[in-house]
A and B are shown apart, each in its own frame.
Chain A
């Protein structure tokens, strides 16, 4: 029984913290959002130089072979300052699938991702589905040596910046994951901002003709890869939300200590103190569930997806409570878009909506 992080893991956290605290100011973040680019390319380059983009990739693909624990550390720290960079979509979701597939150009793709030169997005959600994406309507059919894809995918995270897409399709009586160059003809895009300052894309596929070499995985293998990638991504956003909650209660403490009303700091009022204690307790409860889930994912236990569901249920519920309380205790400042605090609420709402919300995961648990 030792629930302490290793020295290497602590060092990684410190390095990420240092970047987040000194470089990722609220003003900088606002600038990135206003640029319409979705993220900052210099930061992405820096992530690559610091080795962060290599963390979860297998060593034989040129990665560091780190696991769910290191990813949780990274996302928790990112959550504290609401990092916008598309780590989740390129490295976690797409990266996991490519890295663990038998795709012939696996090593080249991983190298392109870790060097910061390539973005890949996963297109698995469809307009007529909600949370359950096991049966895609988007289909691929054989056409000699090629396959033809038709259909529509929505909510493709960072789709606008992606160079390639991994598309989840029905293929004969099976399912498949297919890698498509975004320049391929037959694709059309509409880009949307998301509530948390990021971007997503709706993508239509009209007779998109690609070689069979583009098939990353078919059948059970494809389903397994998709589910594993989503499970890992769910863990990551849960850790991110714990970072958000931590920032929420700490910033609320700081704010109430400085805010004078009725001749004293409002932090002296017991009714507010107990609400801040509740925020702290909710965060700690989530952290305990995070430890369980990330360690079970790390050792690949049978119970890991159940533990991830427990975590995702709890962070959805607690995240809502903690960020709403943060807004309430900041008073008018809480609802002002110029202030950071309301953006945590938006992020936590976004996280709840991703990969199955609280309600969905409680049913699944």
Chain B
């Protein structure tokens, strides 16, 4: 048993660290640290910087222009970005649709889409949830009817993150009504500029515009935008989710947040709050080791073990708890709500500098136990798959 990284891995870590230190866009890190919202330009800037370094395909094989890194290197890469306070790389292109395209797409599709993902020339969105299909995703009803060399798409997708900036959306659509609902689902790429696509903002309880509903009315989509086979979309969707889960095992950003919280709380002389922070620190330490156990299983056995199933639940609980304790630390100063001008630096009230953003993040992070398969759905999965109930 060995819980530490090899010297080679540590060298790799130092390379990542020094690049972040010297070459990562400073204005993005500063904004992120202050809890300020990033603009489209900010998000583009940091992705372009990573792409220029050749690290955008951090989880891709070299044959498609990726880094070809080991799971350990991917882990270290993500952890260092989190520890340094860099915002997470948007998953929709590089972590979600990219691997689906290079695994199940044809040569034409690979050539057409992969380079733009690696260079961050296209913004992608995820078209999974629908107004009537949340946890029960297989009940989705957005229809794609084939007419000649096109599909005609009608329906709507919701909770679509950053769709207001998107160029493309990957959609689960119903191409057939089958007895087993999963068998009629296909995986279709849709250009957001197509006539009939409309984006309507949803403002979340933190006052932010992060998610949207996307409406499709008689949208004409070339049949060549179908990934793999018709009716196999559910298989690709599950493949995508399995890829996505890995990122959850990494706790860099949470460690950074915790250290910040500890610094704040150490000055407050509040033993009750200190005790809560200690408990959270132990929870986070356990989560980190659980992530390393998963990494060790992937590296030595080729697949994650049952312990990985708890990571989404525990990870999001800890993220939420962190935001709660920031609010608690801010006390009455947490009252300030980020209204229309709330994200602007010049509207900061006096008082603790973390206070004005604490409540917004707390409110925003309620999403974490809901998205990616709500924590209750995760428990259903564990009950069935791991405990055999």
Spell out A's residues near B (CB within 8 Å).
Answer: 1-6, 9, 69, 249, 253, 256-257, 267-268, 270, 273-274, 276-278, 280-281, 284-289, 291-292, 295, 298, 310, 313-314, 362, 365
Contacts and interface: CB of A to CB of B under 8 A. Distances in A.
Contacts of B289: 288-289, 291-292
A152 to B, nearest CB: 34
Contacts of A9: 1
Interface in B301-317: 306-307, 310, 313-314
28 contacts: A1-B5, A1-B9, A1-B72, A2-B2, A69-B1, A253-B388, A267-B389, A268-B389, A273-B383, A273-B389, A274-B379, A276-B389, A277-B382, A278-B379, A280-B387, A281-B313, A281-B382, A284-B290, A285-B314, A288-B290, A288-B307, A289-B286, A292-B3, A292-B285, A292-B289, A295-B3, A313-B279, A365-B282
A333 B380 CA distance: 26
Nearest to B288: A288
Interface stretch (B82-90, B194-202, B291-299): B291-299
Contacts of B299: 1-2
A15 B347 CA distance: 67
Given A281-B310, A281-B314, A288 B379 contact: no
B300 interface: yes
A310 B282 contact: yes
B383 A277 contact: yes
Contacts of A295: 1, 3
A286 B387 CA distance: 18
B190 to A, nearest CB: 36
B353 interface: no
Given A286-B286, A362-B279, 20 more contacts: A1-B2, A1-B9, A1-B295, A2-B300, A4-B300, A249-B387, A267-B389, A273-B380, A276-B383, A280-B310, A280-B386, A280-B387, A281-B382, A285-B310, A289-B282, A295-B3, A298-B1, A314-B282, A362-B282, A365-B282
Between A268, A277, A285, the greatest number of chain B beta carbons within 10 A of the residue's beta carbon is seen for: A277
A1 B13 CA distance: 14
A285 B379 CA distance: 15
Contacts of B9: 1
B278 A273 contact: no
Interface of B: 1-6, 9, 72, 275, 278-279, 281-283, 285-287, 289-290, 292-293, 295-297, 299-300, 306-307, 310, 313-314, 376, 379-380, 382-383, 386-389
Given A1-B72, A2-B296, A285 B3 contact: no
Nearest to B310: A281
Given A3-B1, A273-B389, A285-B314, A280 B285 contact: no
A310 B285 contact: yes
A105 B328 CA distance: 58
B275 to A, nearest CB: 7
A284 B282 contact: no
A284 B382 CA distance: 13
Interface of B is mostly: helix
Contacts of B310: 280-281, 284-285
B35 to A, nearest CB: 28
A3 B292 contact: yes
B275 A362 contact: yes
A274 B383 contact: yes
A257 B389 contact: yes
Nearest to B383: A273
Nearest to B299: A1
A265 to B, nearest CB: 9
Contacts of A288: 286-287, 289-290, 293, 307
A29 B278 CA distance: 39
Contacts of B285: 289, 292, 310
B238 to A, nearest CB: 21
Contacts of A2: 1-2, 296, 299-300
A292 B6 CA distance: 17
Nearest to A318: B286
A292 B5 CA distance: 14
B387 A277 contact: yes
Nearest to B4: A1
A87 B54 CA distance: 57
A274 B5 contact: no
B293 A3 contact: yes
Contacts of B383: 270, 273-274, 276-277
Given A274-B376, A291-B289, A285 B283 contact: yes
A233 B316 CA distance: 34
